[in-house]
Structure 1
């Protein structure tokens, strides 16, 4: 009912709802849900930091009750619920939520399992050291302040942060009609990218991505594929796929999948409970038991498998159905001059640098103002107490004045001082009137004048200001920078990443039990012939390193198994490991059958280059002396489960595979020291499913041990090595050219002292040789140390073998001239244990249909005339 004196104003309810909702939405967007692009903070986080700054709870002070901090922030700056302030402060203290936490919490601040923190009356907090850098120079008029909610206090509108907080910590928030979800990044990488931008403002996003490679999440994990990262950096939107970091182990007699890092923002307890439900519903077969063995030392979730389960298959199901694989949808929306904008990587860096530049200018202006004020006072000191006469005169004026005001006026008149200078003279302690103190005042004045000149130069010199920004950023990097936590698996994406991964030389090692790793070539040192060698890999007694491959990161690897199947990997997809690391089981990288093993490999260039794959051929040889030649084009379409490369009959197995260009010569060696040489054209090209033709005629008890492809007859030599460490180089011309399928000629005089022939390789003086024993010891030597000798000789000793040790494999590598010589003897070290994942597993049962080739070609190897 309308009261007297009141007036009703009729309004349209639609218009009122529109204006009220717009006001509300703008309030949420600007004052609650979105971060400022300059300091990366939302208002609540900024107020928590400023409240703690006001209470003086810095990183070097004692902890303060969280309730006290929350109450202060609530009462002074943030008029909302106390839970909103406490929840924000808790998240700022969680090292699994923020890449670089800003609050140092003491007490229960929750867990990755979603456990809530203790009540604020039980916990304590103080600022982290890195937060001191966010608040640095706040007292030097570097940023604007605004009134708080009741106009009783002032609060900063933005922090003068030295840390690129929006990049390194990211943020997420839901506003009205828009949302933001920004990924965290590595501080060291971010600083490098910002410095590169300062050096070149026209830098492209692709060039920036050479410094800041991808998001870096606090919980680690693996970024699977790079397309989403590239989209996010270029457009501000992208979907980044995250996977848990896992490894395979043996627990008792069972295989197990061990999870040591989970994707960002995944609730571990919920993930385990959900997985248990899927196992119960038989959506994920093969899991025997799930255990959470996490403790204060780190995260560890164990998926123990059934005896017949294949680890790689189970892992793929876990990725498909559980939170072991999630996606992070990047949506870079932040406030720029109070307006929400979508930002790419360069935009974020640009706005941060502009903010830092403004802070430097305002800080320098403040310091200059303070320096000039101090210089003004020091000039007054020197006028009044510069000489004994002037000092006596000043003291007389003060003594004979009726009051301080009269004394001040007397000093101003007598010495031509300003009001400020006169007041400073009156405030001087008597101790400052001594001769020594006067010298200090003059020294201080000289220093102040130099500082004024320096500050004025900074204000007049823009390049110098940007240099200061760089220097301060580099200092931040040195203090707080760390290594990446999140790895990147480029194989999950379609994009070309040659520009991101350096094309450096590496050594791939494959053990007898199927463990593979990639190691930088520089880790191995050159030794003289006859040296003892360096420890190359840790293996168990039943395992030894069988293959060594010299390659570069950008090349493709084709793996051929003894059953005649072919699989693909890019070299950079093979996990990197140190020289002494055991590596990772091959079946965890490719879907190889449990009872199969890799017997040959081929390094190729780009398989998508049609001209290249049609020019090149793959030539294979088996233990029974069969040879087969197929166009590389037949192997240029990778399949997850591999393809049939050659038909292998009973009691036979694949030995090797090589690329040829059509004009090569082929040499096949046998265990008993025989070798045959014939032109590649003698082997006609057949289809991928064919069996091949006879390459060498074997005597009873003999078998082929390897094959080489010779392209340069004049410069290449044939190196053969026996199992007991003997070897020799012989000119290719010493082996006469014959037809395919002959018995061959003697290549090494086999005796009990030399042992059987185990390897053949074509080398030049510029090549290096890597030799690995069955005990795991490696030696690297230059071929220029070995002279070329006759064909029917015993050779020279290449490596000193201990006890009953034998050579397991050799490989040709490029020599690195910068690697220093090292011939010190290796001390005996205890061999570690490596678990083999080949036991007790079922076949994959996925075998692509072989191509149907001409049956006449398949029977050609039975032609004894050849």
Structure 2
């Protein structure tokens, strides 16, 4: 063994081979190389055949293995193994996932793989393992590979150089449009929707015949995408934009109908889903909405789907508003947005394409394929014609040819002798030497002459195709029409016109309702018309079915279309659309308030303001708030423009204080505070300067021992209206506003009504007109509706008259005043 050390390179030589580069430049170039590799090698389809490399390699591996539509099914694991071993070394799971998708009729408009076994479901169920499933090519997939052995496309070395694979498939139909494609690359993504094969072929034929046609012309043939799961595309503008620009957002709506069920109520039956929507997850989400109360009126939810199709039944309660439930389902579950991004590789570079550009690129590819196929076939036919010419000459000189072959020493000598004697080419001579004597019969000669005529006619046709592009396009058109005849089927997705955004409010008739809320947090609404007008001092009717120990805490009237600001005793304000409160009969208990408004524990609504007429941009309109301990605060309406679903703070309260009432004022009037002990103070609104929402406010009235604020009202100079005061035992009166002189804020005020053993404490104060009506409700749930004019007018410091006849143990919970509609009974 030699003890000499191996040659060690000189340090200077090593240094000379080291290249200094900036790290940011190296990282940038490396990332670009990686990004382009992902873009071109995995994520984006080729505009010519509409396939990504993994799809193309699976189909080609099946083609090479003879797994055609006419063969027996092959184990999926075998197909995956051959694809991975020969063409796609990126892992078996990625290959199998692609194979599965190509076999799913709910994923592909025209499935390219015929699967046998469990290949997953629209419910999101995973496919069986590849060792359990079998597959073969679907007939239409063979059309993508047709003529691939006729030098129609370029081939390139596979990943290890052992084999060659096609860089693109011949693609006898525009697969990119027919089956669509989706994928995420580095910094870009594609989402091409699937289309109807027959319509796409019609558009391609139209483009062949009218190269200068416009996109609207093509849309006469391709009106919209055609999803494998059917459903509906809402509106045509988004479709037009997607086809004209390559980008758009389509609203896809489930197909459903309303039918009457065995119970006599309605059921909403869903029969088709938007593309790529998981049916099982849809049912779960609808059930979640029902359970958490955001979707009212659903009795039962069933998935009755089978092999014949989808059928999801949403069974409604007898008192449910079908339009409202339907609108909620549309808004939350039955509509999805499909973002169109027609991004594909054109000459290896990603481009966003219009409808016409996609068809033009496909036609250019198809022209290349047919031209190369024709050139390949022409070479074969010319070679065959050359051989047939030799055979015909050999038949003409049969005896001499046989003599020449018989006299030759061997085959090589025979070929040479034939070439020299009869001027045959090498290929002709070799063919003649291999001929059998039986081919010299007269019948065989006739067959050769017929074949020669056919071959020469075909050569003439091929030369015509290659010499005239119109003839070439005619071949493409003819082949497309044949494909359409064999594979086209009916459109599944319908296009429906957009009727604009339909809200729940559009579906609810506008009517005045009475909203009741109990201390146990039960809430409901009931049409005012349910309660007929009574005379003053009536007992009323049952207005709600209370649980034992529960009491009515709030009652107010509003229109179903009103947008309300709901103020609570804890100083918070929430927003509420009245129609969101479930409508129920007057004897119903109501639903849990947490389903409608996000109140905290022990929090009660103490005042309600209709927001529809408020100008939230104004700094001259105010919400004037009064607290139980006598504080008053004005805050600009603009500070309540954005109210979260969880509410916002309206006023800061001291410990033990509570917000009692809220009134809308304009800064030019007076504020009237009424107390539970029957006092009232009127002062200029400007004495309470505007403050922010987090402020406590200023003292409005000096309360006596044990006294508290009952309510707040607004009045103006020369106001001819009355102040309606009602007490807890159901007594009350009207007094002209002119009897309440203006004082300074924080005074004791004047006696408004006598309180005591008969009347009890004041429950509410309201400024009223003669034409107004009031709704009074007791803690036990009795409710009465009566005209304000039924309540007698008295001066201040009087007891008033009976407004509502209450049981001895009952108390008045709340009173609300409204101006009736002429249609109210």
TM-score (norm 2): 0.58
Q: Does 1:61 align with 2:71?
A: yes
Q: 3-state SS of the aligned residue for 2:35? A: helix
> Does structure 2 retain, via aligned residues, the 8 Å contact 1:332–1:342?
yes
Cα drift, residue 402 of structure 1? 2.6
2:432 corresponds to which residue? Answer: 425
1:404 aligns with 2:414: no
- Consecutive unaligned residues of structure 2, counting only runs of 5 or more, are 1-6, 502-582, 585-818
318, 329, 352: which one aligns with 1:307? 318
The 5 A counterparts of 1:500-539 are none
Mapped partners of 2:296, 2:431: distance in 1: 85
* Offset, 1:9: 4.8
Deviates more, 1:394-403 or 1:36-45: 394-403
Once the two structures are superposed, residues 206-242 of structure 1 have per-residue CA deviations (whole angstroms, 9 ceiling, x without a partner) of 1111110001000000111222111101100000001
- Residue 260 of structure 1, aligned match among 252, 267, 271: 271
CA distance in 2, matches of 1:347, 1:218: 24
**Whole-angstrom distance in 2 between the partners of 1:18 and 1:429:** 70
| Structure 1: tracts of 5 or more residues without a match | 495-592, 595-848, 856-866
The question of whether the paired residues in 2 share the 8 Å contact of 1:408 and 1:419 is answered with yes
Partner of 1:12: 22
Matched, 1:414 2:433: no
Alpha-carbon contact 1:289-1:305 (below 8 Å) kept: yes
Aligned counterpart, 1:457? 464
Superposed, 1:787-806 pairs within 5 Å as none
Cα offsets for 1:338-380 (capped at 9, x unmatched):
1111100110111111111111111111111111000000111
Residues 798-838 of structure 1, C-alpha deviations (whole Å, 9 max, x = no match) = xxxxxxxxxxxxxxxxxxxxxxxxxxxxxxxxxxxxxxxxx
Q: Does 1:200 align with 2:207?
A: no
Per the alignment, residue 303 of structure 2 pairs with 292
Partner Cα distance (1:488, 1:312) in 2: 22
CA apart distance, 1:295: 0.8
Residue 37 of structure 2 aligns with which residue? Answer: 27
Deviation at 1:474, TM superposition (A): 1.2
Alignment of 1:705-744 (within 5 A): none
Q: Secondary structure at the match of 2:329?
A: helix
SS in 1 for 2:107: coil
Change (3 A) 1:850 1:136: farther
For 2:407 and 2:184, the matched residues in 1 are separated by 72
- The partner residue of 1:283 within 291, 294, 306 is 294
Q: Deviations over 1:734-766 (max 9, x none)?
A: xxxxxxxxxxxxxxxxxxxxxxxxxxxxxxxxx
How far apart are 1:395 and its partner, in Å?
Answer: 2.2
Residue 15 of structure 1 deviates from its aligned partner by 2.0
Shift of 1:11: 3.8
Q: 2:660 — aligned with what?
A: none
Deviation at 1:433? 2.0
- Counterpart of 1:104 in structure 2 is 114
Given candidates 28, 32, 43, the residue that maps to 2:53 is 43
Cα distance change of structure 1 residues 9 and 491 upon mapping to structure 2, 3 Å threshold:
closer
Post-superposition offset of 1:431: 2.2
Say whether residues 1:178 and 2:188 are aligned partners.
yes
1:321 corresponds to which residue?
Answer: 332
Distance 2:386 2:416 in 1: 18
Q: Are residue 224 (structure 1) and residue 234 (structure 2) matched?
A: yes
Give 2:360's match in structure 1, choosing from 337, 340, 350: 350
Provide the alpha-carbon RMSD of the alignment.
2.2
Q: Of the candidates 186, 191, 197, which is equivalent to residue 201 of structure 2?
A: 191
DSSP-derived class of the 1:163 partner? coil
2:249 match: secondary structure: strand
2:170 aligned partner: 160
- In the alignment, is the contact (CA less than 8 A) between 1:187 and 1:477 conserved in 2? yes
Give runs of aligned pairs for residues 427-576 of structure 1, distance below 5 A.
427-492=434-499
Mapped to 1, the partners of 2:474 and 2:500 lie a distance apart of 38
Cα distance, 1:427 vs structure 2? 2.0
In the TM superposition, residue 100 of structure 1 has moved relative to its aligned partner by 0.5
Question: Could you say what secondary structure the match of 1:190 adopts?
Answer: helix
Deviation at 1:287, TM superposition (A): 1.3
Counterpart selection for 1:239 from 238, 249, 271: 249
SS of match in other structure, 1:491? coil
Distance of 2:182 and 2:457 partners within structure 1: 47
Distance 1:493 1:237, change over 3 A: farther
> After superposition, what is the alpha-carbon deviation per residue over 1:770-790, rounded to whole angstroms, capped at 9, x for unaligned?
xxxxxxxxxxxxxxxxxxxxx
* Mapping 1:316-395, distance limit 5 Å: 316-322=327-333, 324-386=334-396, 390-395=397-402
Which of the pair has more CA radius of gyration? 2
Name the CA distance, whole Å, in 1 between partners of 2:352 and 2:21.
37
Which residue of structure 2 lines up, in the alignment, with residue 85 of structure 1?
Answer: 95
Q: CA contact under 8 A between 1:225 and 1:493: conserved in structure 2? A: no
- CA gap 1:492/1:56 in 2 versus in 1, 3 angstroms: farther
**1:10: how far off?**
4.6
- Aligned partners of 2:408 and 2:157: how far apart in 1? 45
Any conservation in 2 of the 1:227–1:493 contact (CA below 8 Å)? no
C-alpha displacement of 1:493: 6.1
Give distance in 2, aligned partners of 1:482 and 1:398: 61
The answer to whether 1:144 aligns with 2:154 is: yes
Higher RCO structure, 1 or 2 (CA under 8 Å, sep 6+): 1
- Return the offset for 1:492: 4.2
Whether contact under 8 Å (1:219, 1:261) holds in the other structure is yes
Find the residue that maps to 2:337 and give its secondary structure.
Answer: strand
- For the residue of structure 2 that corresponds to 1:108, the secondary structure is coil
Correspondent of 2:223 among 202, 207, 213:
213
In the TM superposition, residue 4 of structure 1 has moved relative to its aligned partner by 5.0
Q: Distance in 1 between matches of 2:436 and 2:67?
A: 34
Other structure's SS at 2:409 match: coil
Deviations 1:645-679 (A, max 9, x none): xxxxxxxxxxxxxxxxxxxxxxxxxxxxxxxxxxx
TM-score (norm 1): 0.56
Q: What CA deviation, in whole Å up to 9, does each residue of 1:180-214 have, x standing for no partner?
A: 00001111111111111111111111111111000
Determine helix, strand or coil for the equivalent of 2:498.
Answer: helix
- How many residues matched? 496
CA contact (8 A) 1:225 1:491 kept: yes
Deviation at 1:12?
A: 3.0
Q: Partners of 1:339 and 1:128 in 2: how far apart?
A: 30
| Mapped partners of 2:150, 2:497: distance in 1 | 46
Q: Name the CA distance, whole Å, in 2 between partners of 1:330 and 1:412.
A: 66
